[in-house]
Structure formats: structure tokens, C-alpha cells
A and B are shown apart, each in its own frame.
Chain A
């Protein structure tokens, strides 16, 4: 069994081993600390000054990463908590993303900004957000998110191959969960990964009652809801988990589902889910029987106390209730 944090760590080791152009920067990423979530453990010991613990300067760290990329290297920048990526907004949006196009020809900026995101850990309002939505629709910028299905090494290779800056979200609740292997989720569900999208299905169900689309950090809560829906409500769901959040890849199989529901942990308003629905509505218009259900976290700051935080973020019961209601 491999935990997601270990899997990411191995992927970074392999990447830096095979590609001497890759540099990694971030706060407290060096050994013996190895990053706030231990994802960079061992890298500084092995790769020396290609790995740098930085001052608390998210904006400049992102800018330095872009400068390395501009000069022909590849850079991975770790933002300790995704909330802090707001401090790097200018460098990411106005420099790294724009520079790929604003000089009239494609300028490669191979830069991956890793953002540990999400709540349900009691870290409170400034250490728990899922800020993906703030970066959707920035020309030249792609958004990816770690999932327990996707090979992280392949995702890093894919992001660098784009030659454009990417934000890579890693939901913190995933770090201690295991990577799924061998196409098996549990006794009920099987999965397959095709390109950017992981698809989780019940054996033998070709036309599910509902297709649920989520980002990586929502996977386990969605699976919990799917299990309840099946066993308690006799509703069969399948799950689609795109590792690329924007631009959205082709999501397979939706025409065969009776309903579509998009679930995310970003706060309500201007959401990733709304963007997913915008892409899907024209495609599915003739087969949709009702509007796509959009579930997001509340229009609220994220409280620290666990009982309050649970109320704000999306939980399995809410997913279940929303799907039952939509299909009733």
C-alpha cells in the first residue's frame, strides 16, 4: 500500500533523477523537515541545491520559478498551503501565464506550482481553502489536481510537456489515504483511468442513475455517498475524476447517465462546478432530463472547530441528499 504523499514523493524523486533540469523551491522543503506534508522528503539530500528552502515569499518564489523556466530549466514550486497562492497571483497570472503568449509566439514556461489545498483537517479559515476557482479562465494557465487514481509522475510529465504554467492542487486529506491500484476501489466499485479522467463504476451497470463529477479531494466523500445511495436508496452512480480541472478534458459516458452532479469543495459562487456545467450543458442538452446539480462548500469562511467546519464543507450526506432529491 502506498499513501498518496509517499506516491508524490516517489514521483518527485524519479522526476529529479531523470531530468537534471528540474528545480524545486518552497518553504521548508529541505531535509530533515522535508516540507510541511513531507512530500519533498529526501529531495534536498539527494539533489543538493536544485532543491531550495526559501524565505516566506510566495510571490517571489513563483517568480523565481518562472525565471528558471524562462532560462531553460523546469521548476516546481511548493506553496505550503494553497491559501497562500493568493500571494503569488500576480506572478502566476500576469507573468508566467501571460508570457507564454504575449510575446507573439509560444514561449515555454515549464512551471508547476504545487498547492496543498482543502479542509476537513481543522486548520481554520486561512489554511483550508480550495482556491481553484480563482484561477479558472486565465489564458495560458492550466489547473490540475492530484487524485488517488492517477500516477503523479505521469501528471508531472504531462504538465511539463505543456510548456505552460500549471497549478497542481493536492488535497491535504489525500496525503494519508492510499493510492488505488489494480482497478479496484473496494468490494463494490471498480475504476479505470483513461487519459486525464478516472472513472469509477459499479460492475455491470452501463447506465447509471447519476454520474458524479468531482476533483481529486472529493473522491472519498463522493464514494461514501455512492455506497449509501446504492445500498440505502437503490441509486447507482458512477464517478468521474478529471486530473485536469481546466481546461476540462472530455468526460466520458455522461450521455448514458440519467443525471449529472458536480461536487466540489470550493466556496459557492463563481465555481469550478459552474464551469464544468457550462461546458457540459450544450453537449448534453438533448439528453439531460433536469439541470445539472451543482454542490459546493457554503458561501462562508471555513471554521477551525471540526463541528463547524463540517457544516461548511461538502460531506457525503449532503451529496446523497442532493442526488436523491434530484432523482425523486
Chain B
């Protein structure tokens, strides 16, 4: 079933019906921290400073930032391959995260997990699509009745995995407090959603009688207002909820592997909060943007200079 809430009155980037209220400074700081963190990773890759792979969340930063204040300390967050923003919005520990990605001293997980496998203070990411939803259902089962919930981020591509349906079925059957956040950016690595998904996320949730809500707003404050009563319902009524964000991946899947047509990339870029805020709120934006950029530059320089991480292998 789909939850009916008043439609957001605010912005769609193409429509821009009205100027949104400026984001709160803390939110803007977090958005820009994540943005510059991700841009720095791409830069470090190009400079040959990073190994392996990484998946940045450019354009999607507002989703975990919006959710951050709806989650409590006792909640458990499960993330995926594209999880740096999820982490930074949950824990303000960019040094530890970058050290993890770079395999340096102070790494959150000794450099073993790297970009896609972080477990730190009730935040856990792992790299196999769909695998986290049954785990999240188990965590939610353990949390049931405590008022805490399990929040799992997945993408539109994840809906190809059978584990998603097995988990949704159990989550609804057993009424567990599970918040499934779908970052529907319209593309799974290189495959457009239209070429890999028949039907809609809403209909798939409805098939299990799981509440579904679609978010089209790109404004952090607006999204919070919209979702707060729904998230409260997940806790109080102990039931799963699928929140589907219509979002856009501004950057490549990982690094330099964007095969989309220029007009598609331009369309994604047109939805980017970064350019819009720079244009609409030049004063706080330019200052905070510079501050966060410089902060991440300092973090990168400091972490790069650290010795390699040490791991005591079990």
C-alpha cells in the first residue's frame, strides 16, 4: 500500500516552482563535507593514491543527510557499496573513513573492509547487493519493541535480487521495524532501470502489503517533515516501510566509467543540489563550501601521510 501524505509543495529542479528555504547551516556543512569527500576520492584515484575501487554518491548526498536527524543512537544502519555519504551522515568521522579507504592508521576497520565494508557503531556496510535486507530484518527482529529500528539503504538495481523479496515478506509477516531506503537513481551501474526492472518499486512493496512512500523532493528540511511521521510509525507500530527516493547519480558508477549519453548526464546534473544552492544562497554557500573543501583537503593530506594500517589477522 502507498501512504498518502500531502504532496511536497516545494521544488522540482525542472519546475522550480518556488525558491526553497535555505538549508540549515549544519545540513549544508554535512552536504558539502560529503560532496568534497567524494570529489577528493576521485581526485586521489586519478593521482594514483587510492587502490581498488570506490563508488561515490555525488548528487545523492541529501538523502542520508535528510535521514540523519530522523535516526537515533539505538538505530542500526545497513549500507551498501555506495555508502560513504550514509556513513558520514551517521557518524562525523571523515578521518577514520578516509583512513579505511586508504588503508592507513586510524582506519575504522583496519583497512580490511575498505570502501564497501565498514562496521562502526551500529553502522554496517557490505558489498553484495540485496544481502543486507535479510540481515536488516534479523536486526529489526532483535530491536522490535524497543523503539529502535533498522534502516537499510538499497538502490533500484538491488531489486533484481531475490533476497529483497524474501526479506520484505518476512519483515511484514513478523512486523519488524525496518526502514528500507531506496535510492532510485535510474541506473544500475550502466544499465538504465527501464532495461532491468519490470514494473515499479511501489507495486513490488504493495505485493507484500509493505508501506511505500515515494519522495521527489530534493530539500533536506522538506524531506524530514514529510518522513518524520512515517518513520515514527515504523517505530511505534513496528512495521516495515519502503521509502523510495527519486534521485540522480551525478557522477559515474565508480570512477570514469560513465557511459551515459551527454544529455542524460546533463539531466542528472540539472538535479544537483550543489549548483542550485550555490545559485540560490550564494552567501552562506560559498563560505561553507570553501571551508568544507579546505577541511577535506587537510584530512586527505593528513591521512595520506599516515603509516599503513595494521591488522591482526584472526
Closest residue on chain A to residue B128 by CB atoms: A94
Q: Are A103 and B136 in contact (CB under 8 A)?
A: no
Q: Are B314 and A104 in contact (CB under 8 A)?
A: no
Q: Are A104 and B139 in contact (CB under 8 A)?
A: no
Shortest CB-to-CB span from B105 to chain A, Å, is: 12
Known: A68-B141, A71-B139. A60 touches B134 (CB 8 A): yes
Q: How far is the CA of A47 from the CA of B162 in the complex (A)?
A: 30
Point out the residues of chain B lying under 8 angstroms from A182, CB to CB.
none
Point out the residues of chain B lying under 8 angstroms from A72, CB to CB.
142
Shortest CB-to-CB span from B143 to chain A, Å, is: 7
Q: How far is the CA of A55 from the CA of B162 in the complex (A)?
A: 13
Q: Are A91 and B131 in contact (CB under 8 A)?
A: yes
Q: Are B142 and A68 in contact (CB under 8 A)?
A: yes
Q: Are B136 and A67 in contact (CB under 8 A)?
A: yes
Point out the residues of chain A lying under 8 angstroms from B119, CB to CB.
99, 103, 107
Q: How far is the CA of A23 from the CA of B174 in the complex (A)?
A: 14
Shortest CB-to-CB span from A196 to chain B, Å, is: 20
In the assembled complex, A73 has its CB within 8 A of some CB on chain B: yes
Point out the residues of chain A lying under 8 angstroms from B97, CB to CB.
none
Point out the residues of chain B lying under 8 angstroms from A75, CB to CB.
138
Point out the residues of chain B lying under 8 angstroms from A65, CB to CB.
138
Shortest CB-to-CB span from B78 to chain A, Å, is: 9
In the assembled complex, A57 has its CB within 8 A of some CB on chain B: yes
In the assembled complex, A253 has its CB within 8 A of some CB on chain B: no
Known: A57-B170, A107-B119. A70 touches B135 (CB 8 A): yes
In the assembled complex, A64 has its CB within 8 A of some CB on chain B: yes
In the assembled complex, B228 has its CB within 8 A of some CB on chain A: no
Q: Which of A59, A66, A69, A71 has the most CB of B within 10 A?
A: A71
Known: A99-B119, A104-B112. A71 touches B143 (CB 8 A): yes
Point out the residues of chain B lying under 8 angstroms from A94, CB to CB.
126, 128, 131
In the assembled complex, A62 has its CB within 8 A of some CB on chain B: yes
Point out the residues of chain A lying under 8 angstroms from B126, CB to CB.
94-95, 99
Q: Are A105 and B138 in contact (CB under 8 A)?
A: no
Mark A11-50 against chain B: 1 for CB-CB distance below 8 A, else 0. Answer: 0000000000001000000000000000000000000000
Q: How far is the CA of A106 from the CA of B311 in the complex (A)?
A: 11
Shortest CB-to-CB span from B106 to chain A, Å, is: 11
Q: How far is the CA of A90 from the CA of B127 in the complex (A)?
A: 12
Q: Are A101 and B314 in contact (CB under 8 A)?
A: yes
Q: How far is the CA of A66 from the CA of B314 in the complex (A)?
A: 19
Q: Which of A55, A59, A66, A102 contacts B138 (CB 8 A)?
A: A66
Point out the residues of chain B lying under 8 angstroms from A107, CB to CB.
119
Closest residue on chain B to residue A72 by CB atoms: B142
Point out the residues of chain A lying under 8 angstroms from B111, CB to CB.
104
Point out the residues of chain A lying under 8 angstroms from B138, CB to CB.
63-71, 75
Closest residue on chain A to residue B107 by CB atoms: A104
Closest residue on chain B to residue A139 by CB atoms: B314
Known: A57-B170, A104-B112. A67 touches B163 (CB 8 A): no
Point out the residues of chain A lying under 8 angstroms from B131, CB to CB.
63, 90-91, 94-95
Extra contacts besides A71-B139, A90-B128, A91-B135 (15): CB < 8 Å: A57-B134, A65-B138, A66-B138, A67-B135, A67-B141, A68-B139, A69-B138, A94-B126, A95-B126, A101-B112, A101-B313, A102-B112, A103-B120, A104-B113, A105-B109
What 3 pairs between A and B have smallest CB-CB spacing?
A67-B138, A63-B134, A104-B110
